Amino acid sequence: MINCPCNRLFVDKLLSIVKEGERENVEFKEFLTPYHLREERFQALACQMNHRIIMGKGRALYVVGVSDSGELRGISREQLDETVFVLKKIAGEIEAKVKAVEEYPVDGGFVALVEIAKSRAKEHILIGTAGHVDHGKSTLIGSLITGIPDDGDGATRVYLDVLKHEIERGLSADLSFAVFGFKDSRAMKMKNPLSKTEKARVVERADKLISFVDTVGHEPWLRTTIRGLLGQKIDYGLLVIAANDGVMRTTKEHLGILLAMDMPVMVAITKADMVGEERIREVVCEISKLLRSVGRVPYLVHGVEEAKHAAELVPTKPVVPIVVTSALTLEGYDLLETLLYRLPKRSTASRDFLMYIDRLYRVSGVGTVVSGCVKSGEIREGEEVYVGPFHDGSFRKARVQSIEMHYYRASRAEAGDIVGIALKNIRLEELRRGMVLAKQQLKAVWEFEADVVVFTHPTRLRTGYEPVIHVETIAEAVIFEEMDREYMKAGDRGRVRMRFKYHPHCVFEGQKFIFREGRSKGVGEIKRIFG
């Protein structure tokens, strides 16, 4: 019961909101405590809040002091103040603010409406594709961003495979990038995704952006696939499996990479038009068995409501949505669009600006241009950055002349944006992939200690082993200098001291990496940096 001497209009407002229940930009919370600021829970709540704000076009409303079912329970003054404090902390994580708090006395306690708003409502999500060669990754994206059915011979793939030998062979050989936008919850289709003007228009007008990093399925280019999945700030992995082939060795390998990076995963079954219903059921069972074996929960999406529900489960729980699609008939594409539109940006703590260089260009009239994904912080046109480390461990200053995102000229870029940055006062020949751009001068690292897990190796690993390590956009040979045991074999875990063989790099504690040499593979996490 509400005992409120305040204006009846406000009471009616509260009751009306509670009666309608939770919805896309309205969240019910009884109360929050410092427990909710613990890392895993905090990130989940930040992700949830960001999703509510996007769905509310920049505004979300939290009803505090009510149960999930909408029962007005009321909480104490201390609980309310603590809850608002926690909401402010969560809002700060996603660069939003608590704009207003309206309180209502309820049976000796309080119910409150907490409005949270974000000035930049545009959300940018990165999705990395993975899967076996010729399973339709590029075709899937090409048909998705155009709305055009494929002709059965990979016609829409040409929007991503633009190199001459890629087109002739029908095989992707390098990373491709595609942009997909939503405006007022509707997908923005492009007539020609190769048009720089169309790409720029999508970036400018969309309320929500999806950038696809289309990787390579062919085994000889596994290094390129790893670079695509580790080097960009990928939010979700999209594992593509053809219905006619089913799960292949590369499928398992790519899934392992996604899981090793703690990445939420979605599955698209392609080429459903080539097989019957029985075969599709077999492939779904095959995928489900594989997912369960690695601790993930398969969730077959049949309809739009299930797609909406799946979008809420994917970011913070081990749920993997499975969508059956056909590029010829566009079956399942409406479900994919629904799922993509509702996926929230995975929240990360705001830190100083950092970007690993992925590609280098010399552009006529512009000069040196580097591209990559902003890992943290933000950068603005005209600011100075440190670039390095060079072989002697030094960093040099350069100035940001201009910033472009999918050919759209931008004045700033922030974490998650894939951008090209024109640099002044530095030559292209001085730079290499794996270097960083930062606002503060960082430390060059030659040696570090890491916890590693060996996936596959034909014999035993010993001190002196020299695999190639992949961390962010870095691909560099390292030497196993010290091990906490005499040797390691497939399936073993251990602590290893490593040294970069040729160049120092910027790496940090907590970063995950993959190491490989031939068919030997493993993963690790950096635990300690040596000066």
Greatest mean pLDDT among 17-21, 276-280, 514-518 = 276-280
Please report whether residue 484 resides in a domain.
yes
Please report whether residue 191 resides in a domain.
yes
Domain co-membership, 268 together with 220: yes
Question: What's the number of domains the chain is made of?
Answer: 4
Looking up residue 501, the CATH number of its domain turns out to be 2.40.30.10
Looking up residue 157, the CATH number of its domain turns out to be 3.40.50.300
Domain co-membership, 457 together with 330: no
Greatest mean pLDDT among 171-175, 412-416, 493-497 = 493-497
Q: What is the pLDDT of residues 323-356, one digit of tens each?
A: 999 999 999 999 999 999 999 887 555 578 999 9
Residue 156 pLDDT > 80, yes or no? Answer: no
Q: How does residue 217 score in pLDDT terms, banded at 50, 70 and 90?
A: very low
Please say whether the beta carbons of 327 and 274 come within 8 A: no
pLDDT at residue 10, as a whole number: 58
Whole-angstrom distance, CA of residue 27 vs CA of residue 62: 5
Of 309, 342, 375, the position where a domain reaches its end is 342
Residue 85 pLDDT > 50, yes or no? Answer: yes
pLDDT at residue 493, as a whole number: 92
Domain co-membership, 168 together with 105: no
Beta bridge partners of residue 437, listed in sequence order: 355, 387
Domain co-membership, 461 together with 429: no
Residue 13 pLDDT > 90, yes or no? Answer: no
Domain co-membership, 301 together with 214: yes
Please report whether residue 401 resides in a domain.
yes
Amino acid at 66: V
Q: What is the pLDDT of residues 311-324, one digit of tens each?
A: 988 887 799 999 99
pLDDT at residue 348, as a whole number: 57
Residue 388 pLDDT > 90, yes or no? Answer: yes
Of 117, 142, 176, the position where a domain reaches its end is 117
Residue 218 pLDDT > 60, yes or no? Answer: no
From residue 330, how far is each of 137, 181, 191 by CA, in Å? 14, 18, 16
Whole-angstrom distance, CA of residue 476 vs CA of residue 448: 14
Please report whether residue 131 resides in a domain.
yes
Q: Which domain holds residue 477?
A: 447-530
Please report whether residue 347 resides in a domain.
no
Residue 91 pLDDT > 50, yes or no? Answer: yes
Please report whether residue 1 resides in a domain.
no
Of 438, 469, 489, the position where a domain reaches its end is 438
Q: What is the pLDDT of residues 163-205, one digit of tens each?
A: 333 333 444 344 577 889 998 889 999 888 778 888 888 888 8
Lowest mean pLDDT segment, chosen from 40-49, 82-91, 263-272: 40-49
Please report whether residue 318 resides in a domain.
yes
Tell me the CB-side half-sphere exposure of residue 48, using CA atoms within 13 A: 21
Q: Two tokens at 267?
A: 């599955």
pLDDT at residue 248, as a whole number: 92
Whole-angstrom distance, CA of residue 15 vs CA of residue 47: 27
